[in-house]
Amino acid sequence: MTQLIQAKKGIITEQMKKAAKKEKISAEKLAEKIAEGSVVLPANKNHKKLSPYAIGAGLTTKINVNLGISEDCPNYELEIKKADLAEKLKAHAVMDLSCSGDTRPFRRNLIEHTSLMVGTVPVYDAENLGKELPELTEEDFLGMLKTHAEDGVDFVTLHAGITKNVLAHMKPADRIMPIVSRGGAVIAEWMDITGKENPFFANFDKVLDICLEYDVTLSLGDACRPGAVHDASDSMQISELIVLGELTKKARDAGVQVMIEGPGHMRIDEIAANMLLEKKLCHNAPFYVLGPLVTDVAPGYDHITSAIGGAIAAASGADFLCYVTPAEHVKLPDLSDVKEGIIASRIAAHAADLAKHVPGADNWDKEMSIARSNLDWKKMLELALDPEKPGKMREESMPRDPAVCTMCGKMCSVNRTNRIKEKIK
């Protein structure tokens, strides 16, 4: 049985107990949220090393780290190092987005290697089956999903909502960038060439059967997400979201866990409304967002544009942030890019948890503030989200008085007020 089916039956699984402990809530309360669909607990029965996390309403905001090889950068060893870095920096999931060659050996290795949740996009295997795109059958697409499920993937992105009716909105929507989703573009082109309906939409019952067998969580992909701020909140995006809401109900009724993927590129003033719309149309399913990136003009700094949007999105109801690195729109990220992306996303997630008043979220900030008030540098570095960077900065610029820093020196306001406090005592 899936986590959802067991939750509906009142069965508390080991995965629920472990995830609930991390959230500092009761397993029974978590099971209630899973049963109603506002929380998912991705946990493929074949991912033996998994340390489970729950994603959704009332919980801490989770972050995902993308990795995987491309045709031009086929270094699997480096991608494993990225997974290790993600675990070290306290991410919650990794997605293998490998899109070249035989992806299965690396995927299996990754799942055996990491305790983080693992996601994939099965349709990325479409061009590696030894067939041209028009030759692929509906069974081929379902076979990709089956293979990934067998290998132990905890959640899969399926672009099941980009139907013929949704594609009909492309021309009237007047988009600058009609489809920026790789998987969505594959499905759209296959539909255009063959004249057939989206294979995942047309065979959604078979999709659910596969997910049920392995307890794979569906991450219903936003093939029509905006890839430019100009394109956000248009008819193409919203029409797909309506379809995803319908598929959410079908999946839940079958006992399959579901979360929804969202934008994309979007102006700041549109973010909160989009979060509300997703929750309404998709029956309060957990929302997984890429960014949103709040401007299109910052290549090389898109971890920042994404963190701004991610903080607003999560504070407005998003539950799961997909990190963006400085390399977005430019190249496959290296390890330093990955680190910058993770840190930016973790800052956004924690800032949102503070705004949402997630129980216990502000304890960390209080501890840091107390350490600063006491000029306790050792404690400050221990509490830092990334201790290495501030530690190195301090070593490189040590003041004459080790109690303070080189910004203020004798002018340190904290040092002065501490002396006043001592007199008051």
First to last CA, the chain: 62
- In single-letter form, the type of residue at position 103 comes to T
- In single-letter form, the type of residue at position 6 comes to Q
pLDDT mean over 387-405: 95
Contacts of 84 (CB under 8 A, 6+ apart): 114
For the chain, the structural domain boundaries read: 3-355, 363-424
Specify the higher pLDDT residue, 163 or 422: 163
Q: Is position 282 annotated in a ligand binding site?
A: no
Q: Is position 412 annotated in a ligand binding site?
A: yes
Q: Is position 225 annotated in a ligand binding site?
A: yes
pLDDT mean over 160-183: 94
Q: Give the CA count within 13 Å in the CB-facing half-sphere of 396.
A: 6
User: Which of 168-172, 279-283, 301-305 shows the lowest per-residue confidence on average (mean pLDDT)?
Assistant: 168-172
Beta 93-96 vs 62-67: how paired, if at all? parallel
DSSP letter string over 221-286? --TT--SSGGGTT-HHHHHHHHHHHHHHHHHHHHT--EEEEE-SB--HHHHHHHHHHHHHHTTT--
pLDDT tens digits for 21-55?
999 999 999 999 999 999 999 999 999 999 999 99
CA distance linking residue 320 with residue 311, whole number of Å: 11
Say yes or no to pLDDT of 167 above 80. Answer: yes
DSSP letter string over 375-390? T-HHHHHHHSSSSHHH
Q: Answer yes or no: are the C-beta atoms of 152 and 47 closer than 8 Å.
A: yes
Q: Is position 66 annotated in a ligand binding site?
A: yes
**pLDDT tier at 240 (50, 70, 90 boundaries)?**
very high
Q: Is position 405 annotated in a ligand binding site?
A: yes
Work out whether the CA dihedral 231, 233, 238, 239 comes out positive or negative: negative
pLDDT tens digits for 348-370?
999 999 999 999 999 999 999 99
Say yes or no to pLDDT of 425 above 70. Answer: no
CA distance linking residue 258 with residue 209, whole number of Å: 14
**pLDDT tier at 127 (50, 70, 90 boundaries)?**
confident
Residue 83 has phi, psi (to 5 degrees) of: -65, -40
Q: Is position 182 annotated in a ligand binding site?
A: yes
Q: What is the average pLDDT score of the chain?
A: 97
Q: Give the CA count within 13 Å in the CB-facing half-sphere of 133.
A: 15
State both tokens at 188. Answer: 């759209």
User: Which of 121-125, 362-366, 416-420 shows the lowest per-residue confidence on average (mean pLDDT)?
Assistant: 416-420
Note the residue count of the chain: 425
Q: Is position 350 annotated in a ligand binding site?
A: no
Say yes or no to pLDDT of 346 above 80. Answer: yes
The model's pTM: 0.96
State both tokens at 254. Answer: 């079958």
What is the 3-class SS of 180-204, one letter each residue? CCHHHHHHHHHHHHHCCCCHHHHCH
Contacts of 83 (CB under 8 A, 6+ apart): 65, 67, 94, 110, 113, 114, 116
Work out whether the CA dihedral 93, 97, 103, 104 comes out positive or negative: positive
Q: Is position 288 annotated in a ligand binding site?
A: yes
Q: Is position 197 annotated in a ligand binding site?
A: no
Q: Is position 283 annotated in a ligand binding site?
A: no
Say yes or no to pLDDT of 266 above 80. Answer: yes
CATH topology for 3-355?
A: TIM Barrel (3.20.20)
State both tokens at 51. Answer: 């340390």
Q: Is position 346 annotated in a ligand binding site?
A: no
Q: Is position 265 annotated in a ligand binding site?
A: yes
**pLDDT tier at 128 (50, 70, 90 boundaries)?**
confident
